[in-house]
Amino acid sequence: RIFSEIIGCDGLPNLDNLTLMPRDKTDPFVSVVYEDTAVVTDTINDTLNPRWMPWHQRAFVLRVFDPKSSIFVGVFDRDGFSSDDLVGRVVIRPSKFVANTEYLLHYNLYDFSTSSDPIMSMDERKAYGKIIIRLRIE
Q: Tell me what the mean pLDDT of segment 21-35 comes to.
A: 89
pLDDT tens, position by position, 115-125: 555 555 555 67
What is the total residue count of the chain?
138
Range of the domain at 36: 2-137
Mean pLDDT of 35-62: 96
- Cα gap 113→44, rounded to integer Å: 24
Question: Structurally, how many domains does the chain consist of?
Answer: 1
For residue 112, the SS3 value is helix
In angstroms, the CA 55 to CA 13 distance is: 25
Q: Is the pLDDT of residue 83 over 90?
A: no
Write out pLDDT tens, residues 95-106.
999 999 999 999
Q: What is the DSSP letter of 124?
A: G
- pLDDT for the residue 4: 97
Residue 99: what pLDDT?
94
Q: What angle do CA 17, 22, 23 make, to 5 degrees?
A: 85
Distance CA 20, CA 7 (A): 30
> Do 62 and 100 form a contact (C-beta atoms < 8 A)?
no
Distance of alpha carbon 102 from alpha carbon 135, whole angstroms: 6
User: What does the pLDDT average to over 60-86?
Assistant: 92
Taking residues 64-86, report their average pLDDT.
Answer: 91
Mean residue pLDDT of the chain comes to 89
State how far the Cα of 72 lies from the Cα of 39, in Å rounded to an integer. Answer: 11
pLDDT band (50, 70, 90) for residue 68: very high
pTM over 0.85: yes
Give the model's pLDDT for residue 117: 55
Please, how many CA atoms are within 13 Å of residue 138, restricted to the half-sphere of its CB? 9
Q: Partners of 8 in the beta sheet?
A: 51, 132
Residue 122 maps to which CATH number? 2.60.40.150
Q: What is the pLDDT of residue 82?
A: 78
